[in-house]
Amino acid sequence: MKLSQFNIVSQDSDNKYIIYNTFSTGLVTLDKNSYEKVIINKDFADFSGLPYLLENGFVVDDDCDEIAKVEAVRSAIMKKTIIQNIVILTTTDCNARCYYCFENGINHVYMSKETADGIVEYCKKKYKDKRIAITWFGGEPLLNYEIIKYITYKLIEAGYELECHVTTNGSLVTDEMIDFFEKNYIRFSFQITIDAVNEEYGNVKRYIDIEPQKAYERTINNVIALIKHGVRMMIRVNFASSKIEHAKEVYKTIIDTLKVYDLTKVNIYMAPLSLPGDKEIISNFHGDLEHPFLQMVKLQRKEGFPLHDLYNEENEISLLSAYNLQPSAISCGMNLACRIVVNADGVLYKCHRLVGKREFSVGNVFDGEDETNRHLMFFHDVHITDDDCRKCDILPICQMGCSYSRFTYGKKQKCHRIRQVKSELVRLYYHALLEEHK
C-alpha cells in the first residue's frame, strides 16, 4: 500500500491534521500520532482507520496507477456529447477598449451573411441532435446584433431548438433584444463584466460611444433591466492580483447596489486576470498581502457564496466549488469534441481567446475541422503529457490548466490558481462543513 499522490494536508491545530483527496473528494482528520504514523512514516500496520483511508482513496494499492485513473475519467467525458455547443464571434470589434483584452491588436472583422450561412451549414453537418447551445461572443457581440438574429432564424428554420449565453459588456442591451432572446431561445443567459464603478468604470472600459461619467449608469441600468426581466446572468469582476483590495470594494458595491432586486438567477463573482507581469501571476504570487485568491474566496463566502446554479434556482453551487476544490474531468469545456469556436471570418478555433491568431486555427466553417491539426489534437488529448502535472497533488482539479495561458505565457502561468493556497482552502472548507452541519 502507498499514500495517494492526490492528498492535500492542512494542519488545523497542534493535534489535528485535515487530509483532503482531490480525486475522491474524501476528507479525514487525524490526530498528531495518527498523522505521524500514517502520513509521515507510511506505517499502516494496526491502524484502525485504514479501511476508511482505502475506501476514500487516501491510501491505494502499490500497483495503482493514479495517473491512468485520471486519464480514464478524462477519456470518458471528452468522448461524451454533453450538449452541442458553438461559440460564435459576431465581430472582433468592440465599443470598449479594456486594457487587459486578449483581443488587443487583432483585426476588427464583422461577420457577413455569407459566413453566417456557412455556420448554419456547418451546424447541419456537425450537429445531428436538434438542440444547440450557442455562446454569442466578440469583441462586443451586440455590435452585430443583426447577424445574431439572422443565424438564429436560420437555425430555427432548420429545425433546431436553441439555448444561448451572451458574453457582453452590457452597454448595448435593449428591451427589444431581451424580448428577442425570450421568444427564440428555450433558455438563455448573459455574462456582463463590471471591473469598476462610477466614473472609474468609464475610464477602465474607455468606450468610444459613451462618455466616461455616463458609462457606469448606463451599464448598471441595463443589468437591472435584465434582472427585472428574470434573465439568468453572471456578473464578473475581473481583477489584477496586485489590485485585489480595489476589486473587493467593487464587488461589495455591486452587491450592495443590486441587493434590493431578486438575485436568485444572478451570480456575482470575482475572476483573476491572466496578465504578463510577474506580480500578477495568481498561481505564483509574491507580495506582502494575503494571497489575492484566498482573499477573494473569503469575501465571496462572506457575501453569500455559494450562489445559485445559473439554470436551476434550487441548486446551489457546492461548498467544494465555492472553495475551488471540486475535481473536474477536463480543464476547460473546449476539451470536448462537441465544442468549437467560430471567429467572425469563419475560421475555427478551440479557444475563444486564441481567435485572430491564425497559427492556432483548426479549420473553417466551409471545410470543417482539420482532424490532423496539432492544436485540435492537443485539446482533445486525454493523456497527461506534462511531467510536472503528473506529479502534482491538484491534478484532478487542474487537469493541466488553461491551454490559452500555456500557449501564451509558457510554463509561467500553467499552474492552477489554488496552487499556493490549497492547504488554506482545505482548512476553510472543513470548517465550512462543520458550520453547515451544526
Task: Decide: pTM greater than 0.95.
Answer: no
Say if residue 17 is in the same domain as residue 156. Answer: no
Q: What is the pLDDT of residue 225?
A: 97
Segment 35-51, tens digit of pLDDT: 999 999 999 998 999 99
Say if residue 10 is in the same domain as residue 49. Answer: yes
Q: What is the pLDDT of residue 404?
A: 80
Q: What is the pLDDT of residue 233?
A: 93
CA dist 210 to 215, 219, 235, 370, Å? 6, 10, 20, 42
Say if residue 242 is in the same domain as residue 300. Answer: yes
Q: Where are the alpha helices (DSSP H) in 158-211?
A: 175-184, 198-205
Total count of domains within the chain:
2
Q: Pick from 10, 45, 64: which residue ends a domain? A: 64
CATH number for 376: 3.20.20.70
- b/e per residue 265-279 (b: at least 16 CB within 10 A): bbbbebbbbbbeeee
Say if residue 42 is in the same domain as residue 151. Answer: no
pLDDT over threshold 50, residue 24 = yes
Span 192-219, mean pLDDT? 95
Say if residue 34 is in the same domain as residue 155. Answer: no
Say if residue 74 is in the same domain as residue 45. Answer: no
Tell me the percentage of the chain whose pLDDT exceeds 90. Answer: 71
Span 91-120, mean pLDDT? 92
User: 44-58, 147-161, 264-278: which has the minimum mean pLDDT?
Assistant: 264-278
Say if residue 31 is in the same domain as residue 119. Answer: no
Confidence of residue 306 (pLDDT cuts 50, 70, 90): very low
Say if residue 57 is in the same domain as residue 75. Answer: no
Tell me the percentage of the chain whose pLDDT exceeds 70. Answer: 96
Span 337-366, mean pLDDT? 93
Q: Pick from 64, 81, 114: which residue ends a domain? A: 64
Domain span at residue 117 reads 65-438
Say if residue 220 is in the same domain as residue 273. Answer: yes
Say if residue 57 is in the same domain as residue 190. Answer: no
Say if residue 130 is in the same domain as residue 203. Answer: yes
Say if residue 140 is in the same domain as residue 281. Answer: yes
pLDDT over threshold 90, residue 335 = no
Segment 384-432, tens digit of pLDDT: 999 999 999 999 999 998 888 877 777 777 888 899 999 999 999 999 9
- b/e per residue 56-81 (b: at least 16 CB within 10 A): bbbbbeeeeebeebbeebbeeebeee
What is the overall mean pLDDT for the chain? Answer: 91
Q: Pick from 17, 36, 64: which residue ends a domain? A: 64
pLDDT over threshold 90, residue 111 = yes
